[in-house]
Amino acid sequence: MNYHQLPIWRQSQGLLLAVEESVRQFSRYHKYTIGDELRQTALRLCKAIHRAFTRHRSKLKLVQTVSELIDDLKFQLQLAKELKAFNGFAQFQQLTELVVSLGKQAGGWYKKTRAEYLQGNSLPDK
């Protein structure tokens, strides 16, 4: 299966675009501080998802990295809200809902990958 068709990939791409659009509306100060952090983390998330689908030998570790990046985004979004960087609550809410949904998907992906890993390691001659 092509990873471009998977919901977690499509949603991470949507998040990256939504972050870009939101950060464009930040004040100059916030655009180059917390805005840059949000943009970079969203980009790293997309890269980590790509790597997790294409590098099977290190998949479990990479899926864990995806989950950690999502946690980073949650923290950064909350910080941006407290700093009043968003143009309005609707921007914050939209991004938060995307990140929470991605977190649920990543959690399920991690559980599945971990189960596959444990099952594979418990088989003889592997």
Report pLDDT digits (tens) over 23-71. 999 999 999 999 999 999 999 999 999 999 998 889 999 999 999 999 9
pLDDT band at 3 (very low <50, low <70, confident <90, very high): confident
- CA dist 50 to 5, 18, 24, 38, 40, Å? 12, 19, 26, 19, 15
pLDDT score of 23: 97
pTM, two decimals, is 0.89
More confident residue, 2 or 37: 37
Are residues 8 and 29 in contact, defined by beta-carbon separation less than 8 angstroms? no
Ranges of beta strands (E only) in the chain are none
Terminal-to-terminal C-alpha distance of the chain: 24
Nearest to 45 by CA among 59, 66, 62, 63: 66
Task: Report the pLDDT value the prediction gives residue 119, as an integer from 0 to 100.
Answer: 87
CB within 8 Å of 10: residues ≥ 6 apart: 4
Number of domains, the chain: 1
Per-residue pLDDT for 125 more than 80? no
| CATH number, domain containing residue 82 | 1.20.1440.60
Please state, in angstroms and rounded to a whole number, the distance separating the CA atoms of residues 115 and 121: 10
- What single letter denotes the amino acid at residue 21? E
The domain containing residue 46 runs over which residues?
3-122
Cβ(32)–Cβ(116) under 8 Å? no
The position carrying tokens 């099977």 is 56
Give tens-digit pLDDT for 62-117.
999 999 999 999 999 999 999 999 999 999 999 999 999 999 999 999 999 999 88
